[in-house]
């Protein structure tokens, strides 16, 4: 498992009964987590001293209960700064487990000894975008949500990257890739963090199990003659690391060579010393 263990401003303190107790900077949040199927005593003081609690509804969705939490605050990861705020469906605007991938590809970019063009698809609030830009890449950031792209711009500004070579685009990722192929544009690296299910701005339906393999085939046509890496993240339960590995080998290794590694990613839990699984990632590199 690849573990995001270099955080100082974020921590999973404890887990029990379908929930996790987290520290985001100086604030404690309790949020549901479907992986936490065990029931252990909630005897850490943070369970009672939480600043906010997201309650899952039996009918789907849920709502926040706030005790003492600002509308917005920031946390840091190494040289990066991320703005946080609680919003619908339990999220805060950041997936901290992805830091293990940020560290991986940032090292590749820094040691490439050449300009690197990165395409970040389904780019959300820009954790990967600002990480790649801080490492020295030029980045094209694409997400179907205007609000998420605006948030990502704010994260870039907070991280001192207002003038970095980042292109911000609100667009359906599939249609954007198709247009880039027609334009003859190419990228040295591609990062993808697709949802399990979603709709584009024009009502386009995305279902991970049905859409991802043909999408990877499209993406392969955008890679340059000297591609550096491809990163694919999955939070879809049925797509295990072996599935990601097989798809990426079929699409990328068969065409360019190189190799694929795929693993679960996770976050350390302070109280129990276990690692909380948080999805899977597949990494293709040419070398």
pTM: 0.94
Cα dihedral value 89, 93, 97, 99, nearest 10: 170
- Say if residue 8 is exposed, middle or buried (CB neighbours under 10 Å; 0-12, 13-18, 19+): exposed
Handedness of CA 103, 109, 111, 112 (dihedral sign): positive
- How many CB atoms are located within 10 Å of the residue 116 CB? 24
Q: Cα(128)–Cα(52) distance, rounded to whole angstroms?
A: 26
Return the CATH number of 2-84, one of 3.40.50.1980, 3.40.630.30, 3.30.1330.60, 2.60.40.1180: 2.60.40.1180
More confident residue, 133 or 207: 133
Tens-place pLDDT, residues 4-44: 999 999 999 999 999 999 999 999 999 999 999 999 999 99
Handedness of CA 111, 247, 281, 203 (dihedral sign): positive
Has domain 96-285 been given CATH number 3.60.15.10? Answer: no
- How many CB atoms are located within 10 Å of the residue 197 CB? 12
Q: Where are the domains of the chain?
A: 2-84, 96-285
Tell me the H-state helices in the chain: 99-110, 127-134, 146-158, 173-183, 208-220, 241-248, 254-256
Tens-place pLDDT, residues 95-146: 999 999 999 999 999 999 999 999 999 999 999 999 999 999 999 999 999 9
- How many CB atoms are located within 10 Å of the residue 255 CB? 13
Q: Cα(282)–Cα(174) distance, rounded to whole angstroms?
A: 19
Query: In sequence order, what E strands does the chain have?
Result: 2-3, 10-16, 19-24, 27-32, 52-56, 62-66, 73-77, 80-84, 117-121, 138-143, 166-170, 189-192, 197-199, 205-207, 229-234, 259-268, 275-285
Q: Cα(194)–Cα(197) distance, rounded to whole angstroms?
A: 8
pLDDT at position 88 over 80: no
């Amino acid at each position: 498992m690849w573990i995001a263990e270099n955080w100082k401003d974020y921590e999973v303190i404890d887990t029990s009964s379908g929930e996790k107790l987290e520290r985001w900077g100086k604030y404690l949040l309790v949020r549901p987590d479907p992986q936490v199927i065990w029931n252990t005593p909630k005897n850490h003081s943070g369970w009672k001293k939480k600043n906010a609690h997201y309650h899952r509804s039996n009918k789907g969705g849920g709502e926040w209960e706030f005790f003492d939490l600002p509308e917005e605050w920031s946390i840091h990861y190494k040289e990066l700064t991320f703005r946080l705020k609680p919003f619908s469906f339990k999220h805060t605007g950041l997936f901290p487990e992805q830091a293990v991938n940020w560290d991986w590809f940032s090292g590749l970019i820094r040691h490439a000894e050449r300009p690197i063009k990165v395409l970040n698809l389904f780019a959300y609030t820009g954790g990967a975008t600002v990480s790649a830009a801080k490492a020295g890449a030029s980045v094209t950031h694409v997400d179907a949500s205007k609000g998420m792209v605006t948030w990502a711009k704010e994260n870039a500004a907070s991280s001192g990257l207002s003038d970095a070579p980042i292109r911000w685009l609100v667009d359906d990722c599939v249609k954007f890739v198709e247009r880039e192929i027609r334009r003859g544009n190419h990228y040295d690296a591609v990062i993808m963090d697709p949802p399990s299910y979603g709709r584009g701005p024009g009502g386009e339906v995305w279902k991970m199990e049905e859409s991802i393999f043909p999408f990877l085939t499209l993406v392969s046509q955008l890679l340059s003659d000297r591609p550096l890496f491809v990163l694919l993240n999955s939070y879809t339960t049925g797509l295990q690391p072996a599935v990601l590995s097989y798809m990426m080998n079929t699409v990328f290794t068969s065409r360019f060579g190189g190799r694929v590694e795929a693993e679960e990613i996770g976050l350390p839990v302070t109280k129990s010393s276990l690692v909380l699984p948080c999805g899977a990632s597949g990494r293709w590199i040419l070398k």
